[in-house]
């Protein structure tokens, strides 16, 4: 089986490398040549695609792209990959996208006789590199079962039922996580006003109800003024925005998460959009 993989960024690259390490024949494509080069270092079964059209003969194609419009632009339309794949091929979509976009892709794929699986990802690039990434998989159960061996190579599969559920799990995770980052930044700022050293404050809070994944991971980065982009402000803002659009469509008013979105929007507008989402601390209290 020949596998196509589009998008070799922080999340896609590790998953593509896992497939290559497992000896799978993987044809990879990314606009950044250095991302392709790094992925191909994983093993001899990886191959560079000169263009998206080169993936037309693949039985299975993964996409891992930043925005919903990037996925739609790649797969849909007269020049999109759905128009070039053979009937019976399958598209596994790994990006963080909204349910509406996922359903549009599913319908377009079905019209061409192509299978569609939504598979969102739960943790970090470091987990992805070690094939320890939780995956929230939605779509036709028989089709998902067909690729269980592939899923087990790249991460930890969890079947959640519908395509909508797959999108929702990731968006909910990121809405909660990024709201936690905003609240953490607020707490650290209050501690500074009280004269507390950042590291001491984090140590004291680690044995209280304030402790969270984001505090454990991003708290020390904030304390060290480390804003290298593990998960950039602009991506965080995108995910929270998509999640809130999903919630509003279901007539839910999520006030805390709406407030967090405003923080990330202001952070991006202040010029910090390409820094890690912990850079939200720079605009807290302004």
Closest C-alpha among 214, 153, 9 to residue 95: 9
Structure confidence at residue 285 (pLDDT): 85
Gap between the Cα atoms of 9 and 45, Å rounded = 19
Mean pLDDT across the chain, nearest whole number? Answer: 96
Q: What is the DSSP letter of 271?
A: I
- Residue 8, judged by CB atoms within 10 A of its CB (0-12, 13-18, 19+), counts as buried
**What pLDDT is stored for residue 55 in this prediction?**
97
Active site (annotated) includes residue 112: no
**Per-residue pLDDT at 155:** 96
Burial classification of residue 156, based on how many CB atoms lie within 10 Å of its CB (0-12 exposed, 13-18 middle, 19 or more buried): middle
Alpha-carbon separation of residue 122 from 14, 36, 169, 225 (angstroms): 14, 23, 9, 26
- What pLDDT is stored for residue 286 in this prediction? 76
Residue range 157-182, pLDDT digits in tens: 999 999 999 999 999 999 999 999 99
Q: Are strands 46-48 and 60-63 parallel, antiparallel or unpaired?
A: unpaired
3-class secondary structure, 240:
helix
Q: Are strands 134-138 and 2-6 parallel, antiparallel or unpaired?
A: unpaired
Q: What are phi and psi of 135, to 5 degrees?
A: -120, 130
> Considering 170, 193, 238, 255, which one is annotated as catalytic?
170
pLDDT in tens, 82-117: 999 999 999 999 999 999 999 999 999 999 999 999
Domains of the chain: 2-161 (3.40.50.720), 168-282 (1.10.1040.10)
pLDDT at 124: 86
**pLDDT under 70: residue ranges of the chain:** none
Q: Which residues contact 9 (CB under 8 A, 6 or more apart)?
A: 30, 35, 64, 66
């Amino acid at each position: 089986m020949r596998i196509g993989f589009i998008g070799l960024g922080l999340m896609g690259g590790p998953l593509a490398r896992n497939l290559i390490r497992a000896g799978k024949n993987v044809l990879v494509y990314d606009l950044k040549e250095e991302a392709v080069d790094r992925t191909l270092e994983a093993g001899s079964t990886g191959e560079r695609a000169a263009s998206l059209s080169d993936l037309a003969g693949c039985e299975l194609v993964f996409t891992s792209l930043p925005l919903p419009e990037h996925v739609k632009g790649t797969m849909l339309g007269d020049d999109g990959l759905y128009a070039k794949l053979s009937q019976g091929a399958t598209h596994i979509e790994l990006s963080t996208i909204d349910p509406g976009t996922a359903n549009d892709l599913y319908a377009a794929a079905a019209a061409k006789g192509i299978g569609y699986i939504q598979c969102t990802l739960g943790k970090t690039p470091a987990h992805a590199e070690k094939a320890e990434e939780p995956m929230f998989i939605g779509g036709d159960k028989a089709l998902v079962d067909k690729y269980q061996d592939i899923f087990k190579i790249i991460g930890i599969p969890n079947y959640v039922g519908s395509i909508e559920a797959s999108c929702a799990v990731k968006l909910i995770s990121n809405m909660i996580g990024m709201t936690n980052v905003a609240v953490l930044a607020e707490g650290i700022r209050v501690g500074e006003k009280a004269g507390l050293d950042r590291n001491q404050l984090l140590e004291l809070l680690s044995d209280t109800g304030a402790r969270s994944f984001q505090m454990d991971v991003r708290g020390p980065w904030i304390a060290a003024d480390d804003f290298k982009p593990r998960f950039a402000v602009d991506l965080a803002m995108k995910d929270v925005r998509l999640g809130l659009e999903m919630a509003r469509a279901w007539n839910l008013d999520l006030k805390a998460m709406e407030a967090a979105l405003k923080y990330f929007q202001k952070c991006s507008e202040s010029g910090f959009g390409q820094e890690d989402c912990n850079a939200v601390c720079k605009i807290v209290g302004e």
